[in-house]
């Protein structure tokens, strides 16, 4: 029992070491994957921010091109004494056909304006007109068309004649359409963009309706704070950045979904270009890492399981071997007394016990004289030879053990025939007489045996052992070198 507890403690310590190693490996792997995911997060945010920065630059470049085009036309028109001359009128009509500009108007110094569609209007009270007449190149605040709902701005440049501003050339530009065009080729068009001012007011939207819930009349700061997608402190920092015309990125969190909202200054009217994209789409280019992680986890998982199975098998085999060694007699390599008893009891408690069995007990005759006359070394050699003889004389499934100095036990399962058992004992005695041991010279080995049958002579190990022992001592009392069967001895007594 003590030995069993020691084995259990050894196994426990062994598995604790393995568990500690596996825990360390798993924690290290989780740390690495966490670090890798953080790196993906940082990289994906940088990519979004870079894309918005590029598109902001592109948008400003497009507007600069329009301004330069209008400036060129204004320079040409300034050479005419009458700004509303037919040549200038035809010119603005041709510009509309060739450019992305919508309504184009020639403005005189008094505010009277002629448009390419023939309409006339006075714009002297408009803010952009006052500034352009001061010689500034100007883009007006956004105007929402009552006809198509599109957000437009007025691009206006001064017209000079003899170094003085004599009028202006202006054109309406659909900044919303430009805004949408910028992001069509990014992230497969998933997400949406908008232009906002420093107060959070939305200047224009693209058409990404399926990816946004915010409306044209919402304030960006208030909407995402009230919806709980951005913490108030985080939004305050973003507001400071936007007022200072600094770029940045917000992480929007809604239930189980996350999105990035990047903002970048346009350097036009203090506007900011914003773009929102789902995190899953932003990290799509890094999806291969996630796939590799799954494969890595699977490989490591299989490896760990295989390792654990191999360790378990090896440990089981080792423990089995240790138990086998512990149950063996060191000299004869037969089972020792404890091992013999344990295996016989296991068999008696199994379903195989229904087949019956015979328990034979054997003592070497006058073994003490062999030790006294020839020495213990010769005695040990005799026992070794007998052990080898017994192992070779019985079946593999028979239980053969040395239970004392010169005492041996043989348990043969499935044997109920007394004639068969008698032949086996006679053969064993004959083999023993013929066993060659040089040191014994002319001395012949003999043995005394007793047998008890299961279930006739008993059904437990204790009963069978006791009765086989009684039959053995009957043999010894009758001159040794023979055998007896327990129930035959009892019948003679009666």
The predicted pLDDT at position 147 comes to 42
4 falls within a domain:
no
Q: Is residue 313 a part of any domain in this protein?
A: no
Q: Name which of 314, 277, 307 is nearest 189 in CA terms.
A: 277
Contact criterion met (CB below 8 Å) for 401 and 413 = no
Are 333 and 450 in the same domain? yes
Q: Tell me, yes or no, whether 23 lies in a domain.
A: no
DSSP one-letter code for 396: T
Residue 391 inside a domain? The answer is: yes
Residue 360 shares a structural domain with residue 451:
yes
With left for phi above 0 and alpha for psi between -120 and 50, is residue 334 left, alpha or beta?
A: beta
> Please, which residues bridge with residue 250 across strands?
261
Whole-number pLDDT of residue 185:
65
Query: Does one domain contain both 353 and 453?
Result: yes
| Strand order across the beta sheet in which 192-196 lies | 202-205, 192-196, 272-278, 257-265, 248-254
* Domain co-membership, 274 together with 371: no
* Coil vs helix vs strand at 410: strand
The tens-digit pLDDT sequence of the chain (494 residues) is 555 565 566 667 767 777 777 777 778 777 777 777 777 778 888 888 888 888 788 878 888 888 898 899 999 999 888 999 999 888 888 876 656 677 899 999 999 999 988 899 999 998 889 999 999 998 887 766 544 456 678 889 999 998 899 999 998 877 666 655 566 667 777 888 888 899 999 887 765 555 668 887 889 999 999 989 999 999 999 999 999 999 999 998 987 888 899 999 988 788 888 888 888 888 877 766 666 667 777 777 777 778 777 777 777 777 777 776 777 888 998 999 999 999 999 999 999 899 999 999 999 999 999 999 899 999 999 999 999 999 999 999 999 999 999 999 999 999 989 999 999 999 999 999 998 888 887 788 999 999 999 999 999 999 999 999 999 999 999 999 999 999 877 666 65
Domain range spanning residue 53? 36-171
Integer angstrom CA distances of residue 36 from 29, 88, 287, 289: 10, 63, 12, 9
Are the C-beta atoms of 186 and 87 separated by less than 8 Å?
A: no
Evaluate whether 235 touches 225 at the Cβ level (below 8 Å): yes
Q: Are residues 419 and 386 in the same domain?
A: yes
Number of domains in the chain: 3
Reported as type and span, the H/E element at residue 251 is: strand 248-254
Four-point Cα dihedral 308, 310, 314, 320, nearest 10 = 80
DSSP 340-382: HHHHHHHHHTSGGGGG-EEEEEEEETTHHHHHHHH-HHHHHHH
Let me know whether 384 and 467 are in one domain: yes
The enclosing domain of 426 has a CATH number of: 3.30.70.270
Is the domain of 474 the same as that of 357? yes
Query: Which DSSP state fits 329?
Result: -
Do residue 473 and residue 334 come from a single domain?
yes
Structure tokens at 340: 């013999």
Residues 360 and 464 in one domain: yes
**477 and 332 share a domain?**
yes
pLDDT at 10: 63
82: domain CATH number? 3.30.450.20
Give the residue from 133, 111, 113, 112 showing the smallest Cα distance to 124.
111
Q: Are 64 and 124 contained in the same domain?
A: yes
* Statement to judge: residues 143 and 49 lie in one domain: yes
Does 197 map to a domain? yes
Which residue do the tokens 């068009």 mark?
189
């Amino acid at each position: 029992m003590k030995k069993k507890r020691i084995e259990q403690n050894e196994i426990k310590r062994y598995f604790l070491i393995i568990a500690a190693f596996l825990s360390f490996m798993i924690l290290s792997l989780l740390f690495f994957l966490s670090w890798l995911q953080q790196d993906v997060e940082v990289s994906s945010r940088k990519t979004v921010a870079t894309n918005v920065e590029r598109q902001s630059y592109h948008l400003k470049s497009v507007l600069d091109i329009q301004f330069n085009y209008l400036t060129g036309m204004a320079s040409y028109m300034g050479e005419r004494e009458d700004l509303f001359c037919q040549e200038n009128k035809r010119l603005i009509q041709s510009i509309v056909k060739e450019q992305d500009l919508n309504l184009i108007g020639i403005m005189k110094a008094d505010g009277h304006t002629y448009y390419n569609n023939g309409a006339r209007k006075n714009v002297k009270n408009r803010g952009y007109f006052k500034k352009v007449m001061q010689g500034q190149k100007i883009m007006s605040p956004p105007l929402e068309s009552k006809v198509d709902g599109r957000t437009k701005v007025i691009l206006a440049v001064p017209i000079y004649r003899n170094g003085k501003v004599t009028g202006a050339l202006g054109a309406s530009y659909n900044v919303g359409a430009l805004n949408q065009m910028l992001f069509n080729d990014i992230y497969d068009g998933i997400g949406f963009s908008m232009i906002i001012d420093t107060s959070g007011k939305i200047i224009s939207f693209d058409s990404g309706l399926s990816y946004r819930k915010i409306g044209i009349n919402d304030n960006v700061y208030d909407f995402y704070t009230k919806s709980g997608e951005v913490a108030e402190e985080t939004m305050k920092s973003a507001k400071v950045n936007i007022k200072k015309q600094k770029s940045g990125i917000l992480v929007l969190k809604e239930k189980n979904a996350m999105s990035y909202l990047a903002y970048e200054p346009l350097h036009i009217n203090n506007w900011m270009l914003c773009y929102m994209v789902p995190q899953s789409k932003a990290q799509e280019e890094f999806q291969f890492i996630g796939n590799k992680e799954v494969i890595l986890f699977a490989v490591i998982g299989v490896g760990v399981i295989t390792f654990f199975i191999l360790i378990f098998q090896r440990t089981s085999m080792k423990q089995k071997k240790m138990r086998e060694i512990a149950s063996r007699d060191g000299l004869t390599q037969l089972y020792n007394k404890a091992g013999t008893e344990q295996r016989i009891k296991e068999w008696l408690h199994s379903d195989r016990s229904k087949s019956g069995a015979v328990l034979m007990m054997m003592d070497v005759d006058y073994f003490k004289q062999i030790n006294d006359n020839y020495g213990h070394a010769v005695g040990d050699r005799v026992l070794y030879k007998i052990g080898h003889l017994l192992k070779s004389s019985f079946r593999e499934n028979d239980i053969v053990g040395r239970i004392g100095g010169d005492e041996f036990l043989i348990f043969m399962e499935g044997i109920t025939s007394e004639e068969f058992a008698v032949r086996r004992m006679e053969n064993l005695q004959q083999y023993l007489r013929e066993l060659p041991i040089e040191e014994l010279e002319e001395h012949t080995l003999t043995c005394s045996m007793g047998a008890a049958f299961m279930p006739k002579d008993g059904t437990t190990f204790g009963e069978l052992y006791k009765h086989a022992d009684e039959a053995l001592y009957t043999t010894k009392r009758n001159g040794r070198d023979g055998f007896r069967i327990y129930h035959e001895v009892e019948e003679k007594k009666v």
